Amino acid sequence: MKNKIYALQKLMCLVNAVTLLTSPPVLAHTNRHRPVDYVRGVKGISEQNRAGYGTLGETSEAEAESVFLHVCPRDNVGNVIYPCVNQNSELGRALELASGNIETAFTTIFQRRLYEYLSMQRVGLGLEPLDLPGCLANDEEAKKEQRFLKTLKGKYRYEIDNLISEAQKELRKLRRIKEPNDAQKQALANKKWEASILTKQRAVHASQTPERLGEAMLLDRQLKNREEQYCGSDPGGQYCLSIRSNRDRIRMAFPVIFPGGLDEEKSQPVDGRRRWETKRSMAIDTHNLDKCGNTPVEQMENAMARMIGLIGAPKPMVAPPPLAAAPAGVSPVAGKNRACPETDGQQELAIKRGQKVLNEAYGDDHGYPLLVTSSDDDGNNEPDGAFNRANYIADTTEIFANDPVSDSRMVEAREALNGGIKDAKDVYRVEVLQQAGRICGASPNELKGLQDKYPTVFKQAVLDMDSESKSREATLTFLCKKNLLNRYQKYNPTFSCEGVTGSVDGADGMKVERQSVGFPFASGINYNLKKLPNNKTKITSKINYKFVYDPSIDPSHGDYKGNGRIPANLRHNRAAQERRFNTKVAQWITKMNAFYKKTADKVKDPSVVFDIQRCQDCDDDYEPTINVSECYRREEPSSFSVDHPGESFESSQCGSVRDYGNWQNAGNYTADTDDATIMHETGHALGLADEYTADYYPAHALGEDGNLSCNSTMASTRGNCHKIYPRHLKEIIRPSLICPKDPGSP
C-alpha cells in the first residue's frame, strides 16, 4: 500500500506538489540565495571554515549557521506539503528505498554521516577508517567513501591541502566545458564529492592539532568564567545567550577534549566533567592514564599554566613549595605510563604564576586575545598573547639554544602539554570505537537522541544537501515537523524576545529595543517592524548622531593643542566643525538608505523596505547613539612615543589619528569615516553581529572563511566588500516571526 502511495506522490511531483508519509503541516523553507556552490568555498584554505565538521557546505560559517536559524511556522495542523526532491540526489535515492518515508530516508543518510564522522576522526588520528557496519555493508556510497578515506590515512594537513588544490584545478577545467557529455558530468560530480570529503577531513585534522586544542581549551575556560558572571542573574539575557552559543560551538568542534556541546555539560553533575574524563581513561587502562591524579585534560591545563608561568620567570624561582609526593593510592608505573614525578617545587610555582595570568584573562570579557593573539604591539618581536609567547620561546629554544629568549624549562613544559594531548587522543581512539556501535542502532524513533549526541553530524547531513534538488528544503520541513531545529536555536540571542514589544500588525508596529551581543562586543539597537499593505515588512531605524566638539583643532580656543602636523585645512572652529558634522550625517543617511534599499530590492524572501533616519529629538540615553568628532581613537598607539618623541598623544590627537588610522566603532565615528565602515556599523545598529574572523580563535561564532572574508558587509569594512544577504534581512525581522512566544515554548 505504501509503495502505491509513493508512486502516486511521484506522479504528483510532475505538477510540483507532493505529500509524504508524515502528518503535521510545515511551510517549505526556500533557500533562494547561496553566494557560491559548496566546493568553491575551498580556496587558499588558510582559514577554511575553522569551526570544522558540521559547518561545511557553504562559503562561510555564517551562511552555514543561518540554515539552522530557519523559523518554523507556528501553525502545525493538517498535511505536510513537501517540495519534490530530485530522484538523482542522495535524499531522492534514499526516499526511493524508503518508499517515500522521509524519516527513514534521513535516518539512512544520518547513518552514513555518522560513519563518515567517526572514520574521519580515526584517519585524523593516523588510523584506518572504521570497518563498514552491518547496516551499511551493502551501501555503495558508504563503500566508496571508505575506499577514499583509506587513501588519506597517514597524510599530513599540507598533503591534504595539496589534494584539495589539485581537485580545485580539475573542477575549474570541468566547469569550463560548455556542453559536457554524460561522462564529463559524472566526472564533475565525482570531483565535487572528492573535494568535499577532503575539505571535511582537513577540518577534522585541524581540530586535532595541539595548537588548536590548546586554544580551544583556553577559550572554553574564559567563556565558562564569563558565563558564571552573566548567566547567574539573567540566564535569558543577550550576554548569557551569546556566551553559551559560543561555548556550545567550541565544545562540539573539539571532541578530543570535550564530551559534547553545552547540553552534555549541563546534564552532568557538578563533578561530572572529571567523572567523564576518568571514565574515558578507564576505558583503556584504568588509572595508568591518571597521572598524578590528573586526567589528560587536566594535564593539558596544568601544562599550559606552567608554560605561561615560565615567561620571564627567574632561574630558579624563589620560595618554592615543599617537595610534592605522589598522591595517596597512586603507584608509580613503568614504561609508557610515567610515574607521578617528584619535583623541586619549581613546576608547582610556575603553574601558580601561570594560573594568576589565566585567571586575570578569564575574568576579562576581552581576555582571551591576551592569551593567544599573535600581534606584537609592544614591538619586542614576540607574540603578545601569553600562550603564543610561551610557544615562541619553546620554538626558539629548540632551534637556537643560545638565544637570549631561550629557556629549556619551556621546552619541558610544552612536552608535558603534548603528553597530555597524546593521552587524550589515546583515550579518544577507544571512545570512537565504542561510538561506532551506535551507527546501526540509529532508527527513526531515536533521531532526537542521536541529534543530542551528535549535533554536528546532524548539521553536516543537512549542509551536504543542495538547494537545487530541493533536498535541503524538504529536510528542513521535516526537521520543523519533528521540532529538531530547536537544538541549534535555543542559545541563539536572536531567538530571544527580550526587549520586543508590540505587534508587527499593530498601528505602531513592533519595537525591538535591546542590547545586541556578539560576545564580547555589544551595541544598543532600537528599530521598528511594521507589516505594510503590500505584505512587505518596513524596517525603521532612528540613529542618534551626537556632535562632539574638539577644541584641540580650534586655533581660536584657549585649549587649542594643535601642532604643525595637522594641516591648516583640518583646523576648524566650533561652528565649522558642526557644519561639517551635519553635512556628513546627511550624506551618511542618504547612502545607508540607498545601500540597504539596493539589497532589499533584490531579495524576495524576506520582502522588506528600509527607512533609516537621523533622530533629531532623542534623549541623551537613547540607543543607538553615535558620537561624531573630527578625531577619535580609543587608545594611544604603542609606537607613538618612538615615532614622536617629546610629544603627548593627547596634544596631537588629530594628527595621530591621521598617522595611524581611524579607529571607529559602533558608537564613535570620525567625520572622515568611510562608506564601507558606515554600512558595517549600521548593520550593528540593526542587530547584526560581526562576521569577520580573528586568526587566533580556534572556532568562530560566525566567522567567515578567511579567504572570503569580504563575503559580506558584516565580515569586512573594505569598500569592495559591500554585500548583505537574505540571512541578514531574516535576522533583522526575526522578532516579528517568533514574538511573542507561545506559552511553554523555549
The reply to whether 531 and 672 lie within a common domain is: yes
Residue where one domain finishes, among candidates 388, 404, 433: 433
The reply to whether 390 and 286 lie within a common domain is: yes
Q: What's the total number of domains in the chain?
A: 2
The reply to whether 589 and 722 lie within a common domain is: yes
pLDDT at 629: 85
Model confidence, pTM: 0.85
The reply to whether 536 and 678 lie within a common domain is: yes
- For the segment 658-695, what is each residue's pLDDT rounded down to a tens digit? 455 545 566 788 888 888 888 888 998 999 988 766 54
Residue where one domain finishes, among candidates 415, 433, 451: 433
Whether 393 maps to a domain, the answer reads: yes
Whether 91 maps to a domain, the answer reads: no
The reply to whether 429 and 502 lie within a common domain is: no
CB-based burial label for 37 (10 Å; 0-12, 13-18, 19+): middle
pLDDT at 9: 54
Contacts of 101 (CB under 8 A, 6+ apart): 2, 20, 21, 95, 444
521-531 vs 537-547, strand pairing mode: antiparallel
Whether 410 maps to a domain, the answer reads: yes
The reply to whether 425 and 502 lie within a common domain is: no
pLDDT at 23: 33
Residue where one domain finishes, among candidates 433, 456, 476: 433
pLDDT at 620: 81
d(CA 687, CA 516): 5
Torsion-angle region of 292 (φ positive above 0: left; ψ -120 to 50: alpha; else: beta): left
Whether 281 maps to a domain, the answer reads: yes
The reply to whether 630 and 733 lie within a common domain is: yes
- For cell 561555548, what's the residue? 247
* Spans of the chain below 50 pLDDT: 2, 5, 8, 14-49, 77, 283-290, 321, 323-340, 634, 657-658, 662, 695, 700-709
Cβ-contact 245, 492 below 8 angstroms: yes
The reply to whether 536 and 619 lie within a common domain is: yes
The reply to whether 287 and 408 lie within a common domain is: yes
pLDDT at 719: 60
Whether 316 maps to a domain, the answer reads: yes
Domain residues for 326? 266-433
The reply to whether 509 and 418 lie within a common domain is: no
The reply to whether 409 and 520 lie within a common domain is: no
500-502 vs 608-614, strand pairing mode: unpaired
The reply to whether 331 and 411 lie within a common domain is: yes
CB-based burial label for 2 (10 Å; 0-12, 13-18, 19+): exposed
Whether 373 maps to a domain, the answer reads: yes
Whether 214 maps to a domain, the answer reads: no
Whether 629 maps to a domain, the answer reads: yes
- For the segment 699-717, what is each residue's pLDDT rounded down to a tens digit? 544 433 433 445 678 876 6
d(CA 61, CA 63): 5
Q: Which of 736, 345, 369 is nearest to 536 (CA)?
A: 736
